Amino acid sequence: MLTDFAKAYLRISMSNILLTGGAGFIGSHIAVELRKAGYVPIILDNLSNSLDSAVDGISKITGRKEVLHNIDCRRENEVVDLIEKVGGISGIVHLAAFKAVGESVQNPSKYYDNNIGSMGSILRVAEKFCVEQFVFSSSCTVYGSPQEAEVTESTPMGNAYSPYGYTKQVGERMMIDLVKAGVKTKFVSLRYFNPIGAHPSAWIGEFPIGKPNNLVPYICQTSIGLRDELTVYGNDYNTRDGSCIRDYIHVCDIATAHVKALDYMLKPTAPQHDVFNIGTGKGNSVKEIIDTFKEVNEIEFKVIQGSRRPGDVAAIYANNQKAQSILGWHPEYTLADALKHAWNWQKTL
């Protein structure tokens, strides 16, 4: 006769979780944490912004042979075939999307087609398989340019400052409408702030295809000599040093929040839709990131001053109390840890 604990363990250990974008920077770290928690990550990625070698790194960390399924989320039939092949899924963690704010301003149709198209397809799959748990990779960019730099989940969604941010607003609204239409899946949106760093093992990390859009990978590539200099976009913002302020959070802390969200949705008391800020609760400026990176890694690199980048907001950082109190999640790594781990990863490339 199985005890309740054994039944729970058996259920979780048999819980396939479809992880879209699972070979990507954040997705690969989530795959590791899912495995660690007893879930089974079904890694799906079309490799448009990731490398299949990421799965080797995941396998090295989990000690199991993880499998990458090279599928585009918008090919719904292929996703359905995969799920039937693996024997069903109990949850979905949906990350597959393009995520560069600046790039989305230059190429909005690429973002609308991929981010919203993928979301529509994966939501239809969730309905078809009566999935219990759906975690959506949302973003602090849904807040637009907030009145106050510190945002809570009740801060109104402003006008998205970029097409990228708008695709995340639309994604959250799509889930709310499905709940209203009677879909029984439970949904959680995790509004990431700025994910940085790499796994402490340096087996997985961020691997931008082409020129990095984001600050920390650009700093890393400049430090290793792949880029001549780093440009600071804007020094006339209304912030303590004129450069933009963001909430930079270790990617491993982002990853653990997904396991907490999946566990939370298993509770009968969990609402059908919920939203959490996933950030450190602290803001740092671009110039502070540059100085901290140089200090903790004892390295120098060239920095030049440039004009503002379209789509950037001056300052935003998380109030993360809700995720701490309801999910039982809290960030475990410091900014120095993240910048050291980012540099350690860069040196392996």
Taking the complex as a whole, how short is the minimal distance between the CB of residue 83 and ligand WQD, in angstroms?
A: 26
Among residues 58, 95, 142, 230, the one that binds ligand WQD under rule CB under 6 A: 230
Rule CB under 6 A: is residue 54 a binding residue for ligand WQD? no
Rule CB under 6 A: is residue 244 a binding residue for ligand WQD? yes
| Residues of this chain, 256-275, that bind ligand WQD according to CB under 6 A | none
Region from 41-49, 96-104, 107-115, 336-344 binding ligand WQD, contact rule CB under 6 A:
96-104
Catalytic residue positions, numbered:
164
Among residues 286, 327, 335, 338, the one that binds ligand WQD under rule CB under 6 A: 286
List beta partners, residue 133: 91, 186
* Measured distance CA(311)–CA(303) in Å, rounded: 21
Rule CB under 6 A: is residue 233 a binding residue for ligand WQD? yes
Answer whether 64's CB lies under 8 Å from 31's CB. no
Burial class (CB in 10 A: 0-12, 13-18, 19+), 32: buried
Rule CB under 6 A: is residue 246 a binding residue for ligand WQD? yes
Pairing of strands 150-151, 248-250: unpaired
Taking the complex as a whole, how short is the minimal distance between the CB of residue 210 and ligand WQD, in angstroms?
A: 13
Among residues 312, 319, 344, 345, the one that binds ligand WQD under rule CB under 6 A: 312
Nearer to ligand WQD, 91 or 195 (CB): 195
* Measured distance CA(166)–CA(48) in Å, rounded: 21
Helix (H, G, I), strand (E, B) or coil at 92: strand
Helix (H) or strand (E) holding 151: strand 150-151
Tokens 């004009």, located at residue: 307
Rule CB under 6 A: is residue 294 a binding residue for ligand WQD? no
* Measured distance CA(71)–CA(125) in Å, rounded: 14
For 308-319, letters b (16+ CB in 10 Å) and e give: eeebbbbbbbbb
Taking the complex as a whole, how short is the minimal distance between the CB of residue 322 and ligand WQD, in angstroms?
A: 18
Taking the complex as a whole, how short is the minimal distance between the CB of residue 247 and ligand WQD, in angstroms?
A: 9
Taking the complex as a whole, how short is the minimal distance between the CB of residue 138 and ligand WQD, in angstroms?
A: 7
Q: Which of 66, 57, 61, 53 has the alpha carbon at shortest distance from 16?
A: 66
Among residues 61, 79, 96, 101, the one that binds ligand WQD under rule CB under 6 A: 101
Work out the number of other CB atoms within 10 angstroms of the CB of residue 104.
26
Here's the x/- map for ligand WQD, 190-209, by CB under 6 A: it reads as --x-x---------------
* Measured distance CA(159)–CA(5) in Å, rounded: 47
Q: Which of 275, 258, 206, 204 has the alpha carbon at shortest distance from 92?
A: 258
Nearer to ligand WQD, 35 or 246 (CB): 246
Among residues 214, 272, 324, 334, the one that binds ligand WQD under rule CB under 6 A: 214
Rule CB under 6 A: is residue 232 a binding residue for ligand WQD? yes
The residue type found at 147 is: Q
Region from 12-20, 108-116, 178-186, 214-222 binding ligand WQD, contact rule CB under 6 A:
214-222
Pairing of strands 317-318, 150-151: parallel
- Sites of contact with ligand WQD (CB under 6 A): 99-101, 139-141, 192, 194, 213-215, 218, 230-233, 244, 246, 286, 309, 312
